[in-house]
Structure 1
Amino acid sequence: MAVQISPSILSADFARLADEAAAVAGAADWLHVDVMDNHFVPNLTLGLPIVEALLKATSLPLDCHLMIEQPERWAPQYAEAGAESVTIHAEAARAPVRTLRAIRSAGARAGLALNPATGVEPYEDLLPEIDMLLLMTVEPGFGGQRFLDIVLPKIRRARRLIGDRGVWLQVDGGVSAETIERCAEAGADVFVAGNAVYGADDPAQAVQNLRAQAERATAAS
């Protein structure tokens, strides 16, 4: 599958979100929005009103990652608002199949996220219900964390389980010039990058550089 880069606005300047989105609009495939509720994860970030505002301010499709409790209550609203991809956490979902189907019914791609310690094999039966599997490569809750190499074998196992189903395999956390090639070699094809993009002098060029690295690693694997 083609490499896709989704810069995370968690690492952007919150006072200039429209400008920060515009800075990567010509280079990125998605804009990744981390929604945190200070319950499922120990941090409070963006919510539905910010997503609605961003949808008016950028042409990039929004990739909403809901790190929240009760995703069955909120996830469909993000899809209805216009987010093109909405991901819920397996650890928080009480009714994952119903919620994933509600996301799709509202017109968005449905994603399922797994924390580093959550095995991928128990969720193999849910693969027909999703468009993307997100593997966290840090503990969720904060940007700028160090990449966890222990997730690399899980990425490989997930790629084997996905096979030819057409499900995207996203990684999120500590993705940078030092780690993206290992993720691509293991089988990931969608890469969330925060500090590696918004900490650079030229965010668009940083996206292009990361894409080139991932494409080289994918071709060589």
Structure 2
Amino acid sequence: MTFDRSPKIAPSILSADFANFGAEIRAVEDQGADWVHVDVMDGHFVPNITFGAVAAAAFRPHIRTVMDVHLMVARPDDWIADFARAGADVITVHPESGPHIHRTLQSIRKAGAKAGLALNPGTGLDGVQWLLDDIDLICVMSVNPGFGGQSFIPAALPRIAALRAMIGDRPIHIEVDGGVVPDNAGAIIAAGADVLVAGSAVFKGGSTAAPEVYGRNIAALRAAARSGA
């Protein structure tokens, strides 16, 4: 996984057909996805339950690009090793999910994955500057985590810009997750992001029987993103 700041599209398989994950993953990658985003929810940290490490390990053989795992869970330290063994390239955690975020980020890197820090809409940026040398990705949540299909919160844009300035020339991705559509993708990239997580915006209207719809959706996001690059 090499670093660059070109705009990347990361479909969230939370919006895929749960009965057909392998084929769905192959379809979106064949249609131009750069990463595959795996939302892990435990019903405690967020009000929903999705995938565990066993599911992630099952997804891994179908993912040729980057497996981007977002842990929306309580006590993430208990699961880092399992998701690293499952093949996660990136593991992202929330600072509120455990008592010692610096230690958690170090554990992710020690396990062999890139370390991501996710910031909820109400999470302040004050402490981020002290963690920059220990992270590879910052995920700006532009919705409240827990469910797909929510609308983008516009206040995310100045937060992205502030983080971009804070990061400087460090090799840290800024990912945006929540309500990303072609209408806002250009503004998100212009603010300083380079990874767009999109669920409904990629999977809407398509299927493994009609993967070209995924391709059109991804192309629309990419064209909008490039307009802001």
Q: Answer yes or no: is 1:24 the counterpart of 2:35.
A: no
Question: What is the CA-CA distance between 1:121 and the residue it aligns to?
Answer: 2.5
TM-score norm. by structure 2 comes to 0.92
Distance 1:209 1:194 in 2: 14
How far apart in 2 are the matches of 1:204 and 1:106? 34
| Aligned equivalents of 1:141, 1:65: Cα separation in 2 | 11
The aligned counterpart of 1:214 is 225
* CA deviation string 1:148-168 (max 9, x = no partner): 001111111011101111110
> Which one of 4, 10, 13 corresponds to residue 14 of structure 2?
10
Report the secondary structure of 1:32's partner residue. strand
SS at match of 2:19: helix
Q: Is contact 2:36-2:63 (8 Å) kept?
A: no
Is the Cα–Cα contact under 8 Å of residues 200 and 206 in structure 1 kept in the other structure? no
Q: Is 1:40 the equivalent of 2:45? A: yes
Change (3 A) 1:23 1:113: same
Tell me the TM-score normalised to structure 1 length. Answer: 0.95
Counterpart residue number, 1:71: 76
User: How far off is 1:56 after superposition?
Assistant: 2.0
Quote the residue 1:168 is aligned against. Answer: 173
Q: For the residues of structure 1 that align with 2:187 and 2:126, how far apart are their CA atoms?
A: 21
Q: After superposing the two structures, state which structure 1 stretch, 94-103 or 192-201, moved more.
A: 94-103
**Over aligned residue pairs, what C-alpha RMSD do you find?**
1.1
Deviation at 1:101, TM superposition (A): 1.4
Question: What residue is the counterpart of 1:205 in the other structure?
Answer: 216
SS class of match (2:112) = coil
Which residue in 2 is equivalent to 1:95? 100
What letter is aligned with 1:92? S
* Structure 1 contact 72–95 (Cα < 8 Å) conserved: no
Aligned pair count reads 218
Cα distance in 2 for partners of 1:94, 1:4 equals 32
Counterpart Cα distance in 1 of 2:57 and 2:222: 28
Contact in 2 for aligned 1:33/1:62 (Cα 8 Å): yes
Mapping for residues 45-64 of structure 1, pairs under 5 Å: 45-64=50-69
Question: Could you tell me which amino acid in structure 2 is paired with residue 100 of structure 1?
Answer: L
The CA deviation at 1:207 is 1.5
- Identify which range, 39-48 or 199-208, moves more after superposition: 199-208
Structure 1 counterpart of 2:140: 135
Q: Structure 2 CA distance, aligned partners of 1:12 and 1:119?
A: 32
Once the two structures are overlaid, the 10-residue window that deviates more, 22-31 or 201-210, is 201-210
Deviations 1:15-47 (A, max 9, x none): 111111011113111100000000000001111
Percent identity over the alignment?
46
CA contact (8 A) 1:85 1:110 kept: yes
Residues 43-95 of structure 1: per-residue CA shift (max 9 Å, x gap): 01111111000012332321000000001111232112211011001111222
Segments of 4+ in structure 1 off by > 3 A? none
Instruction: Decide whether the 8 Å contact of 1:72 with 1:94 is kept in 2.
Output: no
Structure 1 partner of 2:189: 184
